[in-house]
Amino acid sequence: VTNGGKTTLAKKLKERLPNCDIISQDDFFKPESEVETDERGFKLYDVLDALYMEEMVKRVRSWMKSPAVSGVVMEEPQNTCDNVKNTDVYILIVEGFLLYNYEPLNELWNRRYFLTLPYEECKRRRSTRVYQPADTPGYFDGHVWPMYLKYKSELEENASNIVYLDGTKSQEELLSCVYSDIIQELKKLRE
């Protein structure tokens, strides 16, 4: 969901996890001139066609081939628990709003988390952000929220192994939940 805390959560996880890097879907938006406009004049940014998804898959696969040379920060994070210090496991966090609706990425995930927000909170948060280009009047209700509902519905019908997280919880609660899950996965890998 837009403004659900995806980027903030990813950055906080990176601060705590060893050998961790982030790829953000927002880095793959096409320029405004290449994004379609609907009959109401809304730029259709909340669809897969607004993104260079093939390039994103290439970047993820490239990272997977050589994580140690991908620019990952190798210093030990301050808050890492003892169970994962000095690990030779590399962690890639891929964050974005349409990750699980793009089939070529679905075969790559070890873990999947989906942040949700109720309509009013999502709209409130979105109204506090400044976008380039700026949201036009009615854009949230006419495009952003309907696309979120559409893609969320598709996930619920077609995808499995997704952990749904309540984005209204504090960042610390979300961080604790996801961090604990990742630590458990790392322990399994070390055994």
Q: What pLDDT is recorded for position 52?
A: 98
Confidence of residue 87 (pLDDT cuts 50, 70, 90): low
> At 85, is the secondary structure helix, strand, or coil?
coil
pLDDT of residue 74: 47
Model's pTM, two decimal places? 0.88
Burial zone of 88 (CB within 10 Å; 0-12 exposed, 13-18 middle, 19+ buried): exposed
Establish whether the linkage from the previous residue to 18 is cis, with ω within 30° of 0: no
pLDDT tens-digit map of 4-23: 999 999 999 999 998 899 99
State the pLDDT at residue 96.
96
Q: Residue 78 has what pLDDT?
A: 53
Which pLDDT score, from 0 to 100, does residue 83 have? 54
Mean pLDDT of 57-70: 88
**Which distant-in-sequence residues (6+ apart) come within 8 Å of 98 by Cβ?**
25, 46, 47, 48, 51, 151
Q: Is 26 a residue of the active site? A: yes
pLDDT of residue 1: 94
Query: What is each CA distance from 113 to 9, 120, 124, 130, 137, in whole angstroms?
Result: 11, 22, 22, 25, 31
Closest CA to 108 of 146, 69, 63: 63
**Between 161 and 141, whose confidence is greater?**
141
> For 21-57, what is each residue's pLDDT tens digit?
999 999 999 999 999 999 999 999 999 999 999 999 9
Q: Which of 21, 26, 46, 135 is catalytic?
A: 26
Q: Enumerate residues 6+ apart whose C-beta is below 8 A from 128.
A: none
Per-residue tokens: 23: 């790829």
Tokens coding 67: 């994580």
Angle in degrees, 0-180, between the axes of helices 6-16 and 171-190, rounded to the nearest 10: 50
Residues 6+ apart with CB under 8 A from 163: 111, 112, 113, 114, 181
More confident residue, 177 or 68: 177
- Angstrom distance (rounded) from CA 102 to CA 104: 6
Domain 6-67+88-189 fold is Rossmann fold (3.40.50)
